[in-house]
């Protein structure tokens, strides 16, 4: 049997920012964007077993077994030295999960959960696993009241969305920018598919929330904000829109020289969007 | 001048104390200049070494530690002693309660329990409009905070969904006062989803109320039921608790060679000594103090045979870590399965020991085990069975690690879950967390939302802005601020006291 496996960088049993209620969140490793503003850059790429991180590990938690880098979580003290030295933004500390592993986690934490969210990296780069997992949840008597959500950058093409939406209750979608040149600068990709995904998900009734990252001097221009307002209004002015404010926490490289987004400016833009008719604009609860 | 007289003089001349605080400390010093109730040598030594502890309650117990009156008596029958007629309107009922509170003693001399307020007041509300109810209760709430400003004073509402409970929670979230503390008693069979949601939203607003799991508490009590007082003491109504004594489990572990020695010899020894201490104090209260001859008993507010003894423990975390180290294991309490199971085993042993020991002058002839939330100077010891502050895992793992303890602590066990402020946008997550915790056997649930001005320290509330002010200019109206500042600043003793002291947590005068 060829059971799908997921490469998971982290599991949270408690998250109140990844969809409705408390959610178990699975962070999958690997992304098809490469945003300089990413606050989890070590989730971007899959490890190529180059071995560079192995001698750097102070506790000996990393070894090479038959050409593969192996991580022993019992010895690891989570210093994250390996993440710092990896030349490609990968992570040697990932775990492989099959569907049953995740179902077991859900059983164990069921009384605390409203649902599960697959995040990333970019969740949809491991689409087969998501479909298998969500299908299993929906057909499990004890788990089927859990809602199944995906947190996505929207780069998945239309046909692929169609394969996962029947077992998906909602998607949180990031829009990085409306100007396509700016979008390419911020993500390395064009925004056409992202905008199309937003419309497709909305039409399917599965767009739970749109997210927009405010970066001073880049995505906070009046033109961008106007296009954001127009785009949301064209869907439904009550669509939940979460404004995120760019901060340096976790960021690596060039974007550390970019200014952070401050609370008053975020509030001002939220107010502008509200006066443009959007009725469900959410601002960050905290700026760190 | 003798040492004692010097202390008296010091108190009267302390410029940092208000005159009421001086009066209180003078009375405590006077009480403590009397000889202690007679203890055998071994018990006295354990008390001296603070392996067992009397909460510095004073040498001559002349009032129970926690009094839980049935206030419906004064509302329905009035009081001959206080010359009160039965209440016939909401105004009269609130007024009678305000008077009654001043005659209810406790360890702090302020009432620690002010009633299950919706049960008490609802029948006077039929012809009161929503608006009037709101106005009257709001004034009542302001009165409580300003006149009885002790964060241990505790009001209860629920489990039914009713106007009084809703209005009180609304006012409490609006005013964000430290006092009174508030418990919402939740019962999935009785409470509506709406009032449960309101309670959770209120927690996000001001870290109150504390939520009690009625299906676990109610069966332990009889038709009179129970109330939640002070910081999460679950006690028989129309009675209370005579005493609270406690074992410092860290000290017990330090005196043990290894785990086997702990369970076989050292713990049983100190369990016994703490019982002896409890008995000596109860004996004084019941047989020497004359407390039960007073009008509260005569008029039926309380009943002599409804006082339990709270048998407390604390520093479970340090105890387990100490024993783990003695066994050469590194796993820490709260994080490691073996360590957690060792903790559960200790709780079970304690519970069985308390159940097995007959106690005189004690409700149902037995004491009740209690996970004690701490004084502000418990240096390095974590309250009750809690996971040390700052090292708590995520809230779900936290609950899972501790749930098994709860069955063993019938007179209360409080955890404080710290939630980050992102919960603000998602109250459903909090609701699910409470439901999850209760389904695993949590008796009680309290949370701190980290950007709230109002936060719990060891179970009582303080305002962070008061602590700031207190540190800057020395002096706060609310007594628990001091303890908060102390607890926050680790053992840093205040130089100037605020307007009101936390009586329960500051049981001694310290210069
Ligand atoms: S985080 Fe990485 S470098 Fe640090 S101990 Fe763990 S495996 Fe080694
Ligand atoms: S994590 Fe990075 S450095 Fe380590 S082996 Fe993989 S690719 Fe190389």
DSSP letter at A165 equals G
Residues of chain B in contact with residue A113, where contact means CB-CB under 8 angstroms, are 432, 436
Question: Mean pLDDT, to the nearest integer, of A114-124?
Answer: 94
Question: Mean pLDDT, to the nearest integer, of A32-43?
Answer: 90
φ, ψ of residue A55 to 5 degrees: the values are -70, -15
Contact B397 A13 (CB under 8 A): yes
Question: Mean pLDDT, to the nearest integer, of B199-224?
Answer: 92
Residues B70, B59 share a domain: no
What pLDDT band is residue B65 in, cutting at 50, 70 and 90? very high
Euclidean distance between the first and the last CA atom of chain B, given in angstroms as a whole number: 18
Report CA B173 to chain centroid distance, whole Å: 21
**Ligand 2: residue whose CA is nearest its atom 3:** A86
| Secondary element (H or E) of residue B42 | helix B41-48
Looking at residue B473, what is its pLDDT? 47
A48 lines ligand 1 (CB under 6 A): no
- How far is residue B107's CA from residue B281's CA, in Å, rounded to a whole number? 13
Looking at residue B186, what is its pLDDT? 97
CB B234 within 8 A of CB B371: no
Q: Which two structure tokens, joined as six digits, stand for B438?
A: 């209760």
Question: Mean pLDDT, to the nearest integer, of A205-214?
Answer: 96
Q: For A29-167, where are the E strands, in sequence order? A: 62-65, 68-71, 95-98, 115-119, 147-152
Residue B8 predicted with pLDDT over 50 = yes
Question: Mean pLDDT, to the nearest integer, of B481-498?
Answer: 40
Looking at residue A281, what is its pLDDT? 96
Place of tokens 């949270």: A12
Looking at residue B459, what is its pLDDT? 45
Q: Which residue(s) pair with A175 in the sheet?
A: A212
Place of tokens 């775990």: A95
- How far is residue B313's CA from residue B247's CA, in Å, rounded to a whole number? 5
Residue B493 predicted with pLDDT over 50 = no
Parent domain of B397? 39-63+239-414
Q: Which two structure tokens, joined as six digits, stand for B211?
A: 């939520």
Q: Which residue(s) pair with B55 in the sheet?
A: none
What pLDDT band is residue B147 in, cutting at 50, 70 and 90? confident
Place of tokens 């996505």: A152
**Ligand 1: residue whose CA is nearest its atom 6:** A76
Q: Which one of A88, A89, A121, A252 would you pick to mutate in the ligand 2 pocket, going by the greatest count of ligand atoms within 8 A of its CB?
A: A88
Residue A90 predicted with pLDDT over 50 = yes
Max distance between CA atoms of chain B, in angstroms, equals 68
Contact B394 A12 (CB under 8 A): yes
Looking at residue B499, what is its pLDDT? 35
CB A161 within 8 A of CB A141: no
The verdict on B193 touching A (C-beta cutoff 8 Å) is no
| Higher-scoring residue by pLDDT: A68, B107 | A68
Looking at residue B52, what is its pLDDT? 95
| Higher-scoring residue by pLDDT: A6, B483 | A6
Question: Mean pLDDT, to the nearest integer, of B211-236?
Answer: 91
Residues B327, B309 share a domain: yes
Domain total of chain B: 3
Helices and strands in chain A: count of H runs, count of E runs: 8, 11
What pLDDT band is residue B474 in, cutting at 50, 70 and 90? very low
SS3 content of chain B, % helix, strand, coil (to 5): 45, 15, 40
A59 lines ligand 1 (CB under 6 A): yes
Residues B183, B99 share a domain: yes
Residues B408, B264 share a domain: yes
Looking at residue B139, what is its pLDDT? 97
Q: How many CA atoms lie within 13 Å of B365's alpha carbon, on the beta-carbon side? A: 3
Other CB atoms within a 10 A radius of the CB of residue B332 amount to: 16
Contacts of B176 (CB under 8 A, 6+ apart): B205, B206, B453, B454, B463
The interface residues of chain B toward chain A in range 444-473, judged by CB-CB distance below 8 A, are 451
- How far is residue B444's CA from residue B457's CA, in Å, rounded to a whole number? 16
Residues B329-375 pLDDT 10s: 989 998 899 999 999 999 999 999 999 999 999 999 999 999 987 66
Residues B195, B254 share a domain: no
**Nearest-by-CA chain B residue for A23:** B429
- How far is residue B21's CA from residue B217's CA, in Å, rounded to a whole number? 36
A180 lines ligand 1 (CB under 6 A): no
- How far is residue B509's CA from residue B21's CA, in Å, rounded to a whole number? 10
- Tell me the CATH architecture of domain A5-42+94-282: Alpha-Beta Barrel (3.20)
Max distance between CA atoms of chain A, in angstroms, equals 61
Number of residues assigned to chain B: 511
Q: How many CA atoms lie within 13 Å of A275's alpha carbon, on the beta-carbon side? A: 5
Percent of chain B with pLDDT over 90: 65
The verdict on B341 touching A (C-beta cutoff 8 Å) is no
Residues B289-344 pLDDT 10s: 999 999 999 999 999 999 999 999 999 999 999 999 999 998 999 889 999 999 99
- Work out the mean pLDDT of chain B and round it to a whole number: 87
Looking at residue B491, what is its pLDDT? 31
CA torsion angle for B63, B69, B75, B78 (degrees, to 10)? Answer: -40
Residues A226-278 pLDDT 10s: 999 999 999 999 999 999 999 888 888 889 999 999 999 999 999 999 999 99
- How far is residue A68's CA from residue A70's CA, in Å, rounded to a whole number? 6
Looking at residue B475, what is its pLDDT? 46
CA torsion angle for B374, B378, B380, B382 (degrees, to 10)? Answer: -10
The interface residues of chain B toward chain A in range 415-444, judged by CB-CB distance below 8 A, are 419-426, 428-433, 435-437, 439-440
Residue B239 predicted with pLDDT over 70 = yes
Residues B343, B202 share a domain: no
Looking at residue A285, what is its pLDDT? 77
Residues of chain A in contact with residue B399, where contact means CB-CB under 8 angstroms, are 112
Contact A16 B395 (CB under 8 A): no
Q: For B165-316, where are the E strands, in sequence order? A: 181-186, 210-213, 226-229, 233-236, 239-248, 307-314
Question: What CATH number does the domain located at A48-85 have?
Answer: 3.30.70.20
Looking at residue B383, what is its pLDDT? 87
Residue B287 predicted with pLDDT over 70 = yes
Q: Where are the domains of chain A?
A: 5-42+94-282, 48-85
- How far is residue B436's CA from residue B500's CA, in Å, rounded to a whole number? 38
Question: Mean pLDDT, to the nearest integer, of B51-79?
Answer: 93
Looking at residue B23, what is its pLDDT? 86
Looking at residue B415, what is its pLDDT? 76
Which ligand has the nearest atom to the CA of A57? 1
Looking at residue A63, what is its pLDDT? 95
Across A153-162, B131-140, B180-189, B384-393, least confident range = B384-393
Residue B468 predicted with pLDDT over 90 = no
User: What's the A11 CA to ligand 2 centre distance in angstroms?
Assistant: 21
The minimum-distance atom of ligand 1 relative to the CA of A72 is 7
Residue B457 predicted with pLDDT over 90 = no
Which residues surround ligand 2 with Cβ inside 6 Å?
A: A 47-53, 69, 82, 86, 88, 90-92
- A5-30 as b/e, with b when 16 or more CB fall inside 10 Å? bbbbbbebbbbbbbbbbbbbbbbbbb
pTM higher than 0.90, yes or no? no
Residue A196 predicted with pLDDT over 70 = yes
Report CA B230 to chain centroid distance, whole Å: 3
**Nearest-by-CA chain A residue for B394:** A14
Other CB atoms within a 10 A radius of the CB of residue B467 amount to: 22
- How far is residue B180's CA from residue B114's CA, in Å, rounded to a whole number? 9
Looking at residue B496, what is its pLDDT? 31
Euclidean distance between the first and the last CA atom of chain A, given in angstroms as a whole number: 45
Q: Which two structure tokens, joined as six digits, stand for B319?
A: 């105890």
Contact A21 B432 (CB under 8 A): yes
Residue A191's SS3 state is: coil
Residues B246, B226 share a domain: no
Q: Which two structure tokens, joined as six digits, stand for B119?
A: 């049960």
Looking at residue B374, what is its pLDDT? 63
How far away is chain B from the Cα of A202, in angstroms, using its nearest Cα?
A: 22
Residues B435-450 pLDDT 10s: 999 999 999 998 877 6
Contact B428 A12 (CB under 8 A): no
Which of A12, A13, A16 has the most B C-beta neighbours within 10 Å, making it the best mutation to test the interface with B?
A16
How far away is chain A from the Cα of B417, in angstroms, using its nearest Cα?
A: 12
Looking at residue A176, what is its pLDDT? 96
Other CB atoms within a 10 A radius of the CB of residue B125 amount to: 21
């Amino acid at each position: 049997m060829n059971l799908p496996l997921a490469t998971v960088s982290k599991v949270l049993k408690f998250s109140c920012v990844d969809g409705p209620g408390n959610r178990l969140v699975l962070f999958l490793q690997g992304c098809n964007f490469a945003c300089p503003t990413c606050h989890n850059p070590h989730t971007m790429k899959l490890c190529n077993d180059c071995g560079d991180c192995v001698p750097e590990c102070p506790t000996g938690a990393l070894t090479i077994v038959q050409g593969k880098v192996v991580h022993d979580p019992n010895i690891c003290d989570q210093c994250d030295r390996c993440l710092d030295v990896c030349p490609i933004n990968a992570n040697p500390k990932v775990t492989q999960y099959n569907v049953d592993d995740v179902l077991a986690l859900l059983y164990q934490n069921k009384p605390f959960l409203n649902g599960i969210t697959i995040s990333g990296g970019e969740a949809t780069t491991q689409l087969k696993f998501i479909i298998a997992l969500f299908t299993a949840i929906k057909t499990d008597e004890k788990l089927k009241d859990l809602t199944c959500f995906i947190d996505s950058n929207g780069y998945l093409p239309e046909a692929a969305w169609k394969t996962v939406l029947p077992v998906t209750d909602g998607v949180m979608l990031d829009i990085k920018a409306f100007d396509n040149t700016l979008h390419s600068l911020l993500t390395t990709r064009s925004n056409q598919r992202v905008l199309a995904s937003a419309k497709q998900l909305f039409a399917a009734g599965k767009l739970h929330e749109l997210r927009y990252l405010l970066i001073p001097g880049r995505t906070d221009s009046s033109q961008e904000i106007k296009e954001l307002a127009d785009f949301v209004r064209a869907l439904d002015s009550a669509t939940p829109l979460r404004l995120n404010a760019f901060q340096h926490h976790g960021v690596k490289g060039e974007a550390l020289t970019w200014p952070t987004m401050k609370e008053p400016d975020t509030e001002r833009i939220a107010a502008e969007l509200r006066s443009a008719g959007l009725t469900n604009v959410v601002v960050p609860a905290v700026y760190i | 001048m003798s040492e004692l007289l010097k202390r008296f003089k010091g108190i009267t001349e302390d410029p940092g104390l208000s005159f009421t605080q001086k009066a209180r400390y003078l009375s405590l010093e006077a009480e403590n200049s009397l000889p202690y109730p007679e203890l055998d040598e071994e018990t006295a030594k354990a008390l001296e070494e603070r392996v067992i502890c009397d909460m510095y309650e004073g040498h001559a117990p002349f009032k129970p530690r926690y009094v839980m009156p049935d206030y419906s008596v004064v509302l329905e029958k009035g009081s001959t002693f206080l010359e009160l007629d039965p209440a016939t309107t909401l105004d009269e009922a609130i007024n009678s309660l305000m008077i009654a509170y001043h005659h209810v003693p406790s360890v702090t001399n302020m009432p620690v329990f002010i009633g299950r307020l919706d049960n008490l007041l609802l029948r006077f509300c039929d012809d009161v409009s929503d608006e009037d109810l709101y106005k009257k209760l709001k004034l009542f709430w302001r009165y409580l905070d300003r006149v009885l400003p002790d964060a241990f004073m505790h009001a209860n509402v629920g489990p039914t969904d009713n106007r009084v409970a809703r209005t009180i929670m609304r006012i409490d979230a609006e005013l964000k006062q430290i006092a009174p503390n508030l418990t919402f008693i939740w019962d999935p069979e009785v409470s509506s989803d709406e009032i449960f949601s309101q309670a959770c939203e209120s927690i996000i607003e001001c870290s109150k109320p504390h939520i009690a799991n009625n299906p676990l508490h109610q069966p332990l009590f009889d038709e009179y039921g129970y109330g939640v007082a002070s910081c999460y003491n679950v006690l028989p109504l129309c009675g209370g608790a005579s005493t609270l004594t406690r074992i410092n489990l860290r000290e017990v572990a330090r005196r043990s060679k290894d785990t086997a020695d702990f369970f076989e010899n050292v713990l049983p020894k100190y369990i016994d000594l703490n019982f002896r201490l409890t008995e000596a104090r109860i004996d004084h209260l019941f047989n020497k103090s004359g407390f039960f001859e007073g009008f509260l008993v005569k008029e039926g507010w309380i009943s002599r045979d409804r006082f339990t003894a709270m048998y407390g423990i604390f520093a479970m975390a340090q105890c387990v870590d100490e024993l783990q180290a003695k066994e050469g294991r590194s796993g820490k309490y709260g994080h490691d399965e073996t360590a957690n199971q060792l903790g559960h085993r200790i709780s079970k042993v304690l519970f069985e020991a308390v159940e097995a020991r007959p106690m005189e002058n004690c409700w149902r002839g037995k004491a009740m085990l209690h996970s004690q939330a701490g004084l502000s100077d418990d240096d390095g010891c974590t309250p009750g069975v809690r996971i040390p502050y700052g090292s708590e895992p995520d809230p779900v793992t936290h609950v899972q690690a501790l749930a098994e303890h709860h069955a063993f602590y019938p007179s209360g066990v409080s955890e404080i879950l710290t939630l980050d402020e992102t919960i603000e946008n998602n109250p459903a997550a909090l609701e699910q967390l409470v439901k999850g915790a209760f389904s695993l056997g949590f008796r009680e649930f309290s949370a701190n939302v980290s950007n709230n001005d109002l936060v719990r320290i060891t179970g009582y509330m303080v305002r962070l802005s008061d602590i700031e002010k207190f540190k800057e200019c020395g002096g706060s109206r609310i007594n628990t601020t001091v303890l908060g500042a102390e607890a926050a600043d680790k053992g840093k003793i205040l130089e100037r006291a605020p307007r009101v002291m936390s009586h329960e947590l500051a049981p001694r005068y310290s210069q």
